[in-house]
Chains A and B, each alone.
Chain A
Amino acid sequence: MKKRITRVILLLLATALAAWALPALVKKATRSPERYPFIYYSSLLKELCVIDYSDDDTPLSDLSGKKYTTAQFDSLLPLLNFRQLMADGRLPDSIDGHAVTPPVLRAASFVFRHYPATVRGPRPALHVLFESMPRRVGLEMPGDVFRLDDKIEFIDCETNRVNGEKSARFQQTLEKRGYRFPARWNAGNPNPRKAYDEGYFSLDADGRLFHLKMVNGKPYARDTRASETVDVAAFSVLEVANKRFYGFLFGKQGEVYILEERDGGYPLARLDIEPFDLYRDQLTIMGNLLYWNVAVTNPSGRAYYALRSEDLAQVAEHRVAHRPDTWERAAGWFFPVYLTLDDPDSAYIYPRLHVTGAWFHAPLLLLAPLLAGRRGRRVLYAIYILITGFAGLLALLALPDTFTKKSRKR
């Protein structure tokens, strides 16, 4: 190992570390989270309204800026505030011509969230299949877990052994229903804290989406036939109280559907929103009896949609553009390139190179001749600092033998 080679290795390592750690520290010191307003569709005003809970007197304003008092806020957004209206004894009998009762409102309300990290990360390999028709109220952990890849197998928790008999039953059912192994992925909700269980949705080797659940201890499997209309990219199960649908289905073209439950069939209904990028966009849906409030957030900003619950047609839309914070501006100044190892939109750890393309750190180059003793190195150091900015400068400083030995020459 020649000394010069090891020195270059050290320089590269120190630069990489500085290009990771320095920006991370600056980020930590300067980053403030993007604060988008909370926007909800008013079924009375028939428009999107901005809610600011920190404003005690006038929490509500419409998009034109008109302010409303708390009492007005409650009654203008009855679908959001029905619990408050109920407590005040002000809940109307009908909203927009629809008869409402608290149970009806409650059953239709749901919140759904999608984060890119759930699809950009390791997928769970073991799943929990609950009994869909439990004899008693509430769900109980079943005492086994299952894997579904090139076959389906149930593994008993107590013995840590495959339950051959149960596995064979499910295997046969899946095969009989035309499921072709191996599975591409399985989507379900293993958390027992939910109203009921609709089992799993599994994409088979042919790209067909199957519904798998356990009813009275027996396997139940069906081809949803969703793949006949959509190229399925992902599915997210949501057990909504009113059992209207099974969950959200994402198509490879950026479409978002719900997979509805109707007479044993699985009709799709498309959300009337702009194409959605599963791997980059965050999605929040707050549904109520009449309207769904959809927010799609990505690096360029947030888009708000109000959809009619009945047919998911868009009734209102609003956009808020992303505003760069101190960190993003600082990065452009000091870090022409930098590294991150993690990413809020991914569960994976690996180095990601960011090129900000801003080279305002050019004054640093003046330091290169001070650093480099030998004339031949000055150009080299200047180029290195030009490419790497502060990170490279720091790495050069951290290295022995960078400085001149001028003072020692006599």
Chain B
Amino acid sequence: MENIIQCEHVTHYYGDRLIYEDLNFEVQRGKILGLLGKNGTGKTTIINILNGYLKPRAGVCRLFGEEMSRLSPATKARVGLLLEGHVQHTYFNAEQIERFYSRFFPHWRRDAYHALLEKLHVAPTQKISTMSCGQRSQVALGLLFAQDPELLVLDDFSMGLDPGYRRLFVEYLKEYAAAGQKTVFLTSHIIQDMEMLIDDCIILDYGRILLHEPTRHILDHFRRYRFPSPAIGEVEGMWHAGPAGDHWEAYSFLPEEEVARRLAHAAGELTSERLSLEDAFIGLTGKY
């Protein structure tokens, strides 16, 4: 499989504050990858580094094999970029901005843009600066679908959207990715949406990647275990053990029998639960 995104040994600091140390990952063609992490773990920073808008202290990222700081125009045409907050040129109106971008991309799909706008009742002459947050996001996403890029990089696409819009875009994105070997790299705060969407999952912790696994793998194997009392110390393979009401909780990828064996000293009945991606995320990163 071809690697569309490659990041090698990326280390970055803001001033003296470490953001990542020796970050490595890659995204293969046709995958939808979600970058999850708590606030301040550097999700947007990764997107900036990927697109050449931040020079990391060390390391290199490549898009379609080209180094991030020197992307050729041809490569840029293959990458659709959504900035955090659906930032766009707000002095245009909906029609003008479409006219502007259409000149840059040979396979411009005007219809895709207008279809989306119509669906969401945006008037073509409405100025973007007067639009609601949701409408603005439609314009920004509509432009990306019209550009029809091979790689979509979306920074927090669900920000400020109501559940209906979110669901709609998730469907659009799925359809888009499925239609033609498209690759999507996205971050989001709303992990519920991701569950339906992403193939692979990178979970960032402060300074490092906590986990990079297929979403399926997490949903299938990551469990929450409840057990009554005594506190356990650090147990190999168990995450974030702690009291929850009158019980204790811990998370693990291990099979249930193995967990039972390792928690043998924790007397009492052991129950296990399957988790949503959101619960899994909390299980992995902890509740602050």
Binary flags per residue of A385-410, CB closer than 8 Å to B gives 1, else 0 = 00000000000000000000001101
Q: Which residues of A contact B15 (CB under 8 A)?
A: 408
Whether B57 sits at the interface, judged by CB under 8 Å, is yes
A410 to B57, CA, bound (A): 10
Question: Complex: how many Å from CA A410 to CA B58?
Answer: 11
Q: Does B13 contact A (CB under 8 A)?
A: yes
With CB as the reference atom, state the residue of chain B lying closest to A407. Answer: B16
A408 to B55 alpha-carbon distance, docked (Å): 14
Q: Which residues of B contact A408 (CB under 8 A)?
A: 13, 15-16, 57
Complex: how many Å from CA A226 to CA B57?
Answer: 79
A-B contact count (CB 8 A): 6
B57 contact set on A, CB distance < 8 A = 408
How far apart sit A407 and B15, CA to CA, in the bound complex (Å)?
9
Looking at chain A's contact residues, the main secondary structure is helix
Distance in angstroms from B171 CB to nearest chain A CB is: 44
- For residue A407, which residues in chain B have a CB less than 8 angstroms away from its CB? 16
**Which residues 351-410 of A have a CB within 8 angstroms of B?**
407-408, 410
B16 contact set on A, CB distance < 8 A: 407-408
**Least CB distance, A403 to chain B, in whole angstroms:** 13
B121 smallest CB distance to A (angstroms): 45
- Bound-state CA distance A59–B203 (Å) is 94
Compute how far the CA of A407 lies from the CA of B14 in the bound complex, rounded to whole angstroms: 12
CA–CA, A182 and B16, complex, Å: 74
Give B13's nearest chain A residue, CB to CB.
A408
In the complex, chain B residues 1-56 whose Cβ is within 8 Å of any chain A Cβ: 13, 15-16
- Smallest CB–CB gap between A115 and chain B, Å? 56
Q: Which residue of A lies closest to B11 (CB)?
A: A410
Task: Name the residue of chain B whose CB is nearest to the CB of A408.
Answer: B13
Docked CA distance A410–B21 (Å): 11
Hey, which chain A residues are within 8 Å of B13, CB to CB?
Answer: 408, 410
Q: In the complex, A408 Cα to B13 Cα: how many Å?
A: 8
Q: How far apart are the CA atoms of A365 and B13 in the complex, in Å?
A: 32
**Interface digits, B42-79 against A, CB 8 Å rule (1 contact, 0 not)?**
00000000000000010000000000000000000000
Nearest CB in chain B: distance from A409 CB, A: 8
B57 to chain A, nearest CB (A): 7
A410–B17 Cα distance when bound, in Å, is 11
A410 to B16, CA, bound (A): 9
Bound-complex Cα distance A408 to B58 (A): 12
Closest Cβ of chain B to A397, distance in Å, is: 20
B133 to chain A, nearest CB (A): 35
Residue of A nearest to B14 (CB): A408
- In angstroms, Cα B13 to Cα A410, docked, is 10
- Shortest Cβ distance from B21 into A: residue: A410
Q: How far is the CA of A408 from the CA of B16 in the complex (A)?
A: 6
How far, in Å, is A364 (CB) from chain B's closest CB?
29
Give chain B residues whose Cβ lies under 8 Å from the Cβ of A410: 13
Interface string of B137-157 (1 = CB under 8 A from A): 000000000000000000000
Q: How many angstroms from the CA of A407 to the CA of B16 in the assembled complex? A: 8
CA distance A408 to B57 in the complex (A): 9
Q: How far is the CB of A387 from chain B (nearest CB, A)?
A: 31
- Rounded to whole angstroms, the CA-CA distance of A350 and B277 in the bound complex is 71
Give Cα A410 to B12, complex, Å. 11
- What residues make up the interface of B, taking CB atoms closer than 8 Å to A? 13, 15-16, 57
Pairs A–B under 8 Å by Cβ, sample size 6: A407-B16, A408-B13, A408-B15, A408-B16, A408-B57, A410-B13
4 closest cross-chain pairs (CB), A and B: A408-B13, A408-B57, A408-B16, A407-B16
